[in-house]
Structure formats: C-alpha cells, structure tokens
Amino acid sequence: MDRALRRKLTNGIFVGACGLATFIALAALVLILWSLVKEGVGGIDANIFTMTQPAPGSPGGLKNAITGSILMCAGGMAIAIVVGILAGTWLAEYGGQTPYGHAVRFLNDVLLSAPSILIGLFVYEIMVAHLFGHFSGYAGALALALLAVPIVTRTTEDMLALQPNTLREAGMALGAGRGFVIRSIIWKAASAGLLTGGLLGFARISGETAPLLFTSLGNQFFSLNMAQPMASLPTTIFQFALSAYDDWRRLAWVGALLIAVAVLAVNTIGRLLARETHRP
Amino acid sequence: MSTAAIDTRTEDRPARAQSPLGETIFRTLCFSAATLLMAALAGVVVSLIIGGWPAFQKFGFGFITSTAWNPVTEDYGAAGPIVGTIVTSILALIIALPLALGVSVFLVEFCPKRIARPIAIAVELLAGIPSIVYGMWGLFVLAPWFATHIQLPIMMDFDSHSLIGRIFSGVPNGANIFTASLILAIMILPYMAAVFRELLLTVPSQVREAAYGLGSTAFEVVAKVMLPYVSKGTVGVIMLGLGRALGETMAVTFIIGNSHGFPHSLFDSGSTIASTIANEFAEATSDMHTSALIALGLVLFVLTFAVLAVARALLAGNKN
C-alpha cells in the first residue's frame, strides 16, 4: 500500500478510536442516569418525604433516612468548613512555603485520596469503640467531616492563591494587620471560591456510604438524637437494594435518584461558581 | 459629611485592624487547623496499627499469604481479598486507560472547541455520581445483561475443561471479578481523563505546531510528539487511577459476589479488602475478627499510600 495512504488510514482509525472512547464514556453516563430515572421517578410520591422506612410489604418512605443524612452532612460540613478554611488560609497566607507547610499539603493530599472506608475504621476506633461505646450520629458526622476537610482545605488554598498580591499590599499599606487583611479583604474577594470548596466537599460526602456503615450504623425509626445510631440515605439504600423485597428495592432506587440528583446539582453549581472566581 | 464622623472612624479602625493580640490569635487558629489535619491522618495510621496489632501478632506474615478466612475457627488470612483488590484494580486500569487516553486526546486535539467544554463537563459528572449508585446500577442493570449476553454464550461455546472455558468459568449471575472491574473502570475513567487532559495541555503549542508543520498527521503528532512529552506524567495518571480503584468500596461490594478465598477465573466471584470490611465489620463479633478486618485496612492503606506517593512524584516531575 502507498505510504501516504497508510498514514492517512492510521490517522483516520486513531481519530475514530478517540471519538469512540468519548462516545463510550458519554454512553455510560447516559445509561446510568437513564436507569435511575426509569426505576426511580415512578416511586416518588409524598410518602417518600413524610413516612419513615416501612416493614416489607407496607407503605412507607425515606423520611428517617433523609433527615439523618441532612443532619450528619450538616454536622460534618460545619466542622469541615471551619477547619478547612482556616487550614487552607494558613497554607496560602502564612506557612505554605515552609517545610511544615509542604508536609501539611502532602498529608492533606493523602487524606484526600485515602479510601473512605479507612476513615470509617478510624472514627469507629475512637468514637464508637472508646468514646461513646456505641454507634452514633456524631460518629457519622465526624467521619463525613474528615472526608470533606481535605477538599475544603485544598480549594481554599487554591482560591486564596488566585487573589492578586496588590490586594494584600493595598490593605497593609493602609495600616491593617495581616490577619485583618485576610479576613476582611482576601476572604471577601474569594468568597465565591470558598463557597465552591464547601459545595464540592458537600457533594463528596452526601453520597458516601462506606464510612457510615459502622459509625452511624442506621436506624429504622425517625430520630433527631445524634448521640444515638442514625439512619442515612446511603446506608438505607445499601440495605434495601440488597434485600429480597421488591418494594424495598423500589425505595432504594428512589433514594439513589434523590442522592444522584442532589450530588450532581451541587457539583455543577460548585463548578460554575469556581469559574466565576477564576475571572476576577 | 462632618469632621467628627471621620475622626471616630480613624480612631476606631486601627484598633481593630492592627490589634497584635488579634493577629496572633488568628494566626494560631489557622496553624492549629493545619496541624489538626496532620493529626487526623496520623490518627488514622496509628489507630489502624493499634487495632490490627493482635491479628498481626497472631498470624504474623502468614496473614498476608494465607487464604483462610474463617470466623468460626478464628483463622484469618488475607490473601484472597488482597489478590481480589489487586486483580480488579489492574483489570479496571487496563480497561480505563485506553478510554481515558482516547477521551482526553479527542477533547484536546480533535473536538471542535464549542462542544469540547460540554463534553468535558459531562465526563466530569460521571466522577460525581456516588459509588453506591454505581453499585446499584452494576447489580441490577449491568450484571443481568452481562450474564445473559456475554457470560452464558461464552459458557455454551467453550468446553469448561478447555483453557478458555476455565478462564471464563463461574456462576452465570454476572456478579464477578470481571463486572466489578468494569464498574471500577467507568468510575476511574473521568479522573484519569481529567488529569491526562491537563497534562496534554501543558505540551507547548510550538512543539505541536512544529510537528504539524513538518507534515505529520494528527496521529503522529499525538503518538510521537505529545505522548513522549508527557510520558512521566502518564505513569502518574495510571498510578492515580490505580489508587482510586484500590480503595473503592460500595460499588465493588455490590457486584463482586463476596466470596472469600482465591478467585479461580475471570468470571469467578471474589472479594476485595474494602468490600470485606464493608460486609463484615459491623457484624464482627469476636475481637480477633475485628482486629483482622482492621489489619486488612492497614494493608489497604499501605497499598494506596505507596501508589499515591509514586503518582505524585511522577506528576510533579512532569510539571517542571
């Protein structure tokens, strides 16, 4: 075969293969979302939000699981935002270039990619095995906090680093101290970015199942007491999906749809906000 | 505006803006938060070592090499889950790597700019879907389809004693090592594609354009100029994907079949470290069972940490 033709052919096959790979990735997304909608939408009714989980065969909803998830995610995010923003601020504004700063950044990355189930084991060891002696909503919230902190820290550092130095210099030239400049100028300028960190952290933890299995355990009744075992959407989905009852499985699909929609929405908003910050 | 108003402001402001005590407190707070992060990770490692110690003490090195996993006789060996973890992760990588390469090259080189962004966002959405949703989809959609359309035909066509028959033997319910790897591949694909895309964008446009200027086809530019330019980082991307796959829990727990011991074929059920912990930890009754599971966790931590450290070193090397 002619050399030029062969090169053209190879190129054509390569471009086609790359296009095919992209098509496969998009098809996977569409197939998964389609299954969620097909199996989940039919099950959504008022009961989902007003009734607690049923015994097999009787009507019920996911009220206890949704409430538990919201409580534990809120608790986890409260811790993660405070610790993450302060730690990210330290990395960006104070000690980020010191050896200690490099160590913190590296370990933050390790924590970010540590398997979530190991975070669950750690929280089990301190909260469940020693501090409380039993499973609790607090333990679940702490496990979720540990998963969100590294994301908030990383995003905070990145977003603060984007702020121009002239802002800091201007503040300090007016006689303000470093900390004051950070709090009232830099944080304000980067507020959309800080919010992004929080949203991305939230998106990560709201679907997390593994670390909750043996920290908050689950609870078939409606409960607002975080010192006791607490239901959550992901653990309820896990239990229901693997059960032998059709109505439980239907509820699991509804729960999966709710989580996926929430996570994807939060994720998208976070990304849009991040783009706004990139263009000051 | 009265002068009095200006006066109070200038007296008031510096007090708040320059308080040395406030400065120290804020700085210390930030420093403590950073230190707390380190302490958390240290706590994870220490608690895994302490919790797993009894198991390591009792079984020694045999914990890693033995395939026994028997809560009744209190005999625990982790070889089954360890092999399951490594096999599923590497299989997932083999499936995901060409796809990730294809997606990122397509987005950077071939795709019209106007649709490149929406496609990139869609692929990133794939990364946002929670693990448990992948698990449900795998169990209820992928596994049954796989069993009837792939697994059964293969079992019909090949004698179960032939080599191919043995590789593909297993219970035809679609819950096995291979489907678990498939799900893992879909899950790590978006991460790998995103990092790889960033890497490709670091190739200086002069280098690319020079190659095109010499009359290279797009394939030649990518394969002979761009890929060699980012070769170190490519290994980093692979390790990053591997690190994600090793620790993935819920999706795998749903679909791997959860049987202990050594997987004997591609379509055999198995278990991974993470799926074993997820399945058994809350129900572990004896102290040795709990300890063995935590020891498994430590093995997983060491594996992911090593992989991540290598990935970081290689990716950092490519950026300089």
Across the range B149-177, mean pLDDT stands at 82
Across the range B239-243, mean pLDDT stands at 91
Identify the pLDDT of residue A278: 55
Instruction: Verify that B36 and B151 share a domain, yes or no.
Output: no
Q: Inter-chain contact A263–B129, Cβ cutoff 8 Å?
A: yes
**B-interface mutation test, from A3, A7, A14, A200, most B Cβ less than 10 A away:** A14
Confidence bin at B314 (pLDDT 50/70/90): confident
Alpha carbons B202 and B91: distance in angstroms, whole number:
29
Number of compact structural domains in chain B: 2
Identify the pLDDT of residue B68: 85
Question: Helix crossing, B113-128 with B177-201: angle to 10°?
Answer: 140
Alpha carbons A141 and A68: distance in angstroms, whole number:
10
Instruction: Verify that B43 and B90 share a domain, yes or no.
Output: no
Q: Which of residues 271-290 of B touch A (CB under 8 A)?
A: 274, 277-278, 281-282
Identify all chain A residues contacting B41, using CB atoms and an 8 Å cutoff: 107, 110-111, 114
Which amino acid, residue B127?
A
- The mean pLDDT value of chain A amounts to 91
Q: Which of residues 236-275 of B touch A (CB under 8 A)?
A: 243-244, 246-250, 254, 274
Instruction: Verify that B75 and B29 share a domain, yes or no.
Output: no
Q: How far is B108 from chain A (nearest CA, A)?
A: 11
Look up the CATH number of the domain holding residue B229. 1.10.3720.10
Helical residues (DSSP H) of A41-190, grouped into ranges: 46-50, 63-89, 99-113, 116-123, 137-162, 165-173, 178-181, 187-189
Instruction: Verify that B42 and B171 share a domain, yes or no.
Output: no
Which amino acid, residue A43?
G
Cβ-Cβ contacts under 8 Å between A and B: the total is 267
- Which of B123, B128, B218 lies closest to A203 in CB terms? B128
Instruction: Verify that B34 and B128 share a domain, yes or no.
Output: no
Identify the pLDDT of residue B20: 83
Tokens 């991460």 belong to which residue? B191
Confidence bin at A3 (pLDDT 50/70/90): confident
Query: Whole-model pTM?
Result: 0.91
Across the range A69-75, mean pLDDT stands at 95
Alpha carbons B47 and A130: distance in angstroms, whole number:
12
Per-residue pLDDT tens over the stretch B210-239: 999 999 999 999 999 999 999 888 888 899
Per-residue pLDDT tens over the stretch B115-143: 888 898 898 889 889 999 999 999 999 99
Most confident range (mean pLDDT) of A45-49, A159-163, B4-8 is A159-163
Instruction: Verify that B114 and B79 share a domain, yes or no.
Output: yes
Domain-ending residue, one of B58, B77, B104: B58
Domain-ending residue, one of B58, B74, B91: B58
Instruction: Verify that B126 and B151 share a domain, yes or no.
Output: yes
Confidence bin at B6 (pLDDT 50/70/90): very low
Identify the closest residue of chain B to A18 by CA–CA distance.
B102
A98 touches chain B (CB under 8 A): no
Instruction: Verify that B88 and B196 share a domain, yes or no.
Output: yes
Identify the pLDDT of residue A274: 75
Share of chain A above pLDDT 70, in %: 98
Across the range A225-252, mean pLDDT stands at 91
Burial of A114 (0-12, 13-18, 19+ CB in 10 A): buried
A46-278: CATH architecture: Orthogonal Bundle (1.10)
Reply yes or no on whether the pLDDT at A268 is more than 90.
no
Per-residue pLDDT tens over the stretch A89-122: 999 999 889 999 999 999 998 999 899 999 999 9
Identify the pLDDT of residue B1: 41
Across the range B244-250, mean pLDDT stands at 93
Q: Which domain holds residue B54?
A: 3-58
Domain-ending residue, one of B35, B58, B81: B58
Identify the pLDDT of residue A280: 46
Confidence bin at B5 (pLDDT 50/70/90): very low
Structure ipTM: 0.91
Per-residue pLDDT tens over the stretch A123-174: 999 998 888 888 999 999 999 999 999 999 999 999 999 999 999 999 999 9
Reply yes or no on whether the pLDDT at B2 is more than 50.
no
